[in-house]
Amino acid sequence: MRARTRAAIDSEAMETAAVEVTDLVKRYGATTAVDGLSFTAPRGAVTALLGPNGAGKTSTVEVCEGFRRADGGSVRVLGLDPAADAARLKPRVGVMPQSGGVPTGARAGEWLRLTASFHARPLSPDTLLERLGLTNASRTPFRRLSGGQQQRLSLAAAVIGRPELVFLDEPTAGLDPQARHATWELVAELRAAGVGVVLTTHHMEEAENLADRVVIIDRGRVVADGATGELTCDGHELRFEAREAVDTEALEAALPSGVRVEARPATAGRAAECAVARADGGEIGPEMLATVGTWCAANGVHPEGLRVQRRTLEDVFLELTGRDLRS
Amino acid sequence: MTETTARPALDFTPAPGAAPMARMVAAQAGMELRIMLRNGEQLLLTMVIPVLLLVGFSTVDVVELGDGPRVDFLTPGVLALAVMSTAFTGQAIGTGFERRYGVLKRLGATPLPRFGLLAAKTLAVLAVEAIQIAVLCSVALALGWDPQGGPAAFAYALLLVLLGTAAFSSLALLMAGTLRAEATLAAANLVYVVLLGLGGVLFDTGRFPGAAQTAVEALPITALAGGLRAVLADGAAPSLLPVAVLAVWAAAGAALAARFFRWE
């Protein structure tokens, strides 16, 4: 009986999402930062909120963390209300703010031991420091840590309590490539251990590499939401750069019908680029690659960086918003 | 580290849970205490200045301090100053910058509840005050301090110190929780200097003209310094007035802080 009840609770827990945001609205005075935003983040998976700065990512996460009150809509975290059930949620949810959050005079190791002491079954602070390359900085006050060390310490403090769910707000902002890689590895390990991760980023590669689901946010609204593969799967493209001018109409004529050729003019430091894609978003096969190669040979065009690829999240974002994600 | 070095194993499998409240508060109080004792500017305010005032004004005859030995008059005032510097000035500045740097917000995301954080801050302030009182009393005794009164007087003095701590702490949190950190830094130092000058720390407030004297005697620093001085220097019986003044400040400060404090 007891076991069945336990199983029932577990199955109920598995059915509720890690995070469920419905029609969320958040305003600051006259500014609407989040404007009817909805998404679901499953348990034990990595969900990336992707969007340019000022899109409303941090506001959304801060409502989920219980730091801010929603002006409209509803938010459930692990099936609970982040404001009303805050005391029950806090031990179960790890939080990494975008910056700061640590007293400037606290030493790295000291801060991590403090956060560990708030939890019943924490990870070993020393092991976590070693894992994130902070052992030598253990006695360094927070204000003397580099930006990357501060970020990693903040990440460590978010996961040390062995939470079920972590919110990471721009976890790799300002990190050098090695530190970014270490962070990505840690996120992958959290996911493998069954921890749900919701992270914000404005780096496409980060979302593509890490996330099971991507929620693209622009101006406080969701413009695309889906499994990472789904968002990018349709829309195969063949691309190449060329120093010579490419007659796109002539190339198009040489290709099967239903294939369009688009030229992207040269920009500073970049050669003109040609993109070949099926209008229906279908696959670009080897025959088409051969046709393009033959056409280039016949027309004296020297292609560089010739590649067949799926469209990137940036392409998806550009199509949906007409704006550059890197802004 | 080489490529072949094994990464330290970490088991991230979720096992959430809050630690017992006593452990959380003790850990947080320890952190607060270490940060306070490591902060040079705060130590100047809480230790160096009171000791210098005590030694300087006890040994050099620059202000008229009444009949008895100078150290007997000065020690209660400097003890009151020490309480104010830690509970009010130091705590206001420290908490103001913690708020500014998002520390209060970050701690709000941990299992440590807000009252646990306040309890930890209070414990740390009391610990620093215990060190201050031990140092100042040792210095005063070395200078020939001869405190009056028996156990009842000391119990009363302790009550005043605790009430003064409550009053100054609630005013510190009110300031830190409503003003910008830079404004808190400036205002807390200004209040410290003004109350040091006005509040009966180094000289008797009886010198002020009538109305001004009444106003000054309603200040928490004057109630604390005057109350301590009455029993420890003059051997007077404990009076209810300083207790009442400090209790009113503590209650008003706490009510306002609870109403207006912003965590970020």
CB pairs under 8 A between A and B: 121
B7: nearest CB among A97, A123, A131: A131
Query: A206 vs A21, A47, A61, A99, A202, CA distance in Å?
Result: 22, 11, 18, 19, 8
* C-alpha–C-alpha distance, residues A66 and A80, integer Å: 11
Tokens of B93: 């500045």
pLDDT at residue number B131: 96
Residues paired with A196 in a beta bridge: A165
B101 touches chain A (CB under 8 A): yes
Tokens of B225: 């310094």
Contact between chains at B97 and A127 (C-beta distance less than 8 A): no
The predicted model gives B236-248 an average pLDDT of 94
Closest B-chain CA to A115: B110
A118: nearest CB among B35, B97, B110: B110
Closest A-chain CA to B98: A103
B24: nearest CB among A111, A118, A121: A118
A119: nearest CB among B10, B18, B34: B18
ipTM: 0.88
A193: nearest CB among B13, B97, B109: B13
Query: A319 vs A110, A313, B148, CA distance in Å?
Result: 48, 10, 84
B40 touches chain A (CB under 8 A): no
A90: nearest CB among B7, B13, B109: B109
The pTM of the whole model exceeds 0.90 = no
Contact between chains at A123 and B108 (C-beta distance less than 8 A): no
Contact between chains at B13 and A127 (C-beta distance less than 8 A): no
Contact between chains at A118 and B264 (C-beta distance less than 8 A): no
* C-alpha–C-alpha distance, residues B86 and A197, integer Å: 42
Contact between chains at A114 and B27 (C-beta distance less than 8 A): yes
Mind spelling out the 3-state secondary structure of chain B?
Answer: CCCCCCCCCCCCCCCCCECCHHHHHHHHHHHHHHHHHHCHHHHHHHHHHHHHHHHHHHHCCCCCCCCCCHHHHHHHHHHHHHHHHHHHHHHHHHHHHHHHCCHHHHHCCCCCCHHHHHHHHHHHHHHHHHHHHHHHHHHHHHCCCCCCCCHHHHHHHHHHHHHHHHHHHHHHHHHHCCCCHHHHHHHHHHHHHHHHHHCCCCCCHHHCCHHHHHHHHCCHHHHHHHHHHHHHCCCCCCCHHHHHHHHHHHHHHHHHHHHHCCCC
A105: nearest CB among B9, B12, B38: B38
Contact between chains at A163 and B38 (C-beta distance less than 8 A): no
Task: State what percent of residues in chain B have pLDDT above 70.
Answer: 95
* C-alpha–C-alpha distance, residues A158 and A76, integer Å: 20
Burial readout B83-98 (b: 16 or more C-beta within 10 A, e: otherwise): bbbbbbbbbbbbbbbb
Contact between chains at A100 and B103 (C-beta distance less than 8 A): yes
Residue A93 C-alpha, separation from nearest chain B C-alpha, in angstroms: 8
Give me the half-sphere count of Cα atoms (radius 13 Å) on the Cβ side of residue B245.
20
Query: B18 vs B78, B108, B113, CA distance in Å?
Result: 42, 13, 10
pLDDT tens by residue, B82-113: 999 999 999 999 999 999 999 999 999 999 99
B146 touches chain A (CB under 8 A): no
Mind spelling out the 3-state secondary structure of chain A?
Answer: CHHHHHHHHHHHHHHCCCEEEEEEEEEECCEEEEEEEEEEECCCCEEEEECCCCCCHHHHHHHHCCCCCCCEEEEEECCECCCCCHHHHHHHEEEECCCCCCCCCCEHHHHHHHHHCCECCCCCHHHHHHHCCCHHHCCCEHHHCCHHHHHHHHHHHHHCCCCCEEEEECCCCCCCHHHHHHHHHHHHHHHHCCCEEEEEECCHHHHHHHCCEEEEEECCEEEEEEEHHHHHHCCEEEEEEECCCCCHHHHHHHCCCCEEEEEECCECCECEEEEEEECCCCCCCHHHHHHHHHHHHHHCCCEEEEEEEECCHHHHHHHHHCCCCCC
Closest B-chain CA to A92: B16
* C-alpha–C-alpha distance, residues A33 and B66, integer Å: 65
B16 touches chain A (CB under 8 A): yes
Contact between chains at A106 and B24 (C-beta distance less than 8 A): no
B10: nearest CB among A90, A110, A123: A123
Residue B122 C-alpha, separation from nearest chain A C-alpha, in angstroms: 17
Write out chain A residues lying below 8 Å of B112, CB-based. 118
pLDDT at residue number A186: 94
Write out chain B residues lying below 8 Å of A65, CB-based. 109
Residue A254 C-alpha, separation from nearest chain B C-alpha, in angstroms: 51
Contact between chains at A162 and B28 (C-beta distance less than 8 A): no
Using an 8 Å Cβ cutoff, are A101 and B104 in contact?
no
Burial readout A226-264 (b: 16 or more C-beta within 10 A, e: otherwise): eebeebbeebbbbbbbbeeebeeeebbeebeeebebeee
* C-alpha–C-alpha distance, residues A120 and B16, integer Å: 7
pLDDT at residue number B75: 95
Contact between chains at A103 and B35 (C-beta distance less than 8 A): yes
Closest B-chain CA to A66: B109
B22 touches chain A (CB under 8 A): no
Write out chain B residues lying below 8 Å of A131, CB-based. 7-8, 10
B103 touches chain A (CB under 8 A): yes
Using an 8 Å Cβ cutoff, are B157 and B241 in contact?
no
B264 touches chain A (CB under 8 A): yes
Per-residue pLDDT of chain A (327 residues; tens, 9 = 90+): 444 454 554 555 556 899 999 999 999 999 999 999 999 999 999 999 998 888 999 999 999 999 999 999 999 999 999 999 999 999 999 999 998 899 999 999 999 999 999 999 999 999 999 999 999 999 999 999 999 999 999 999 999 999 999 999 999 988 888 889 989 999 999 999 999 999 999 888 888 889 999 999 999 999 889 888 777 766 678 888 888 888 888 998 998 888 888 887 666 556 678 888 887 777 888 888 899 999 999 999 888 888 888 777 777 777 777 766 655
B102 touches chain A (CB under 8 A): yes
Nearest to A56 by CA among A79, A36, A78: A36
B14: nearest CB among A66, A105, A163: A163
Write out chain A residues lying below 8 Å of B9, CB-based. 127
Write out chain B residues lying below 8 Å of A105, CB-based. 35, 38-39
B8 touches chain A (CB under 8 A): yes
Closest A-chain CA to B1: A133
- The per-residue pLDDT of chain B, averaged, comes to 91
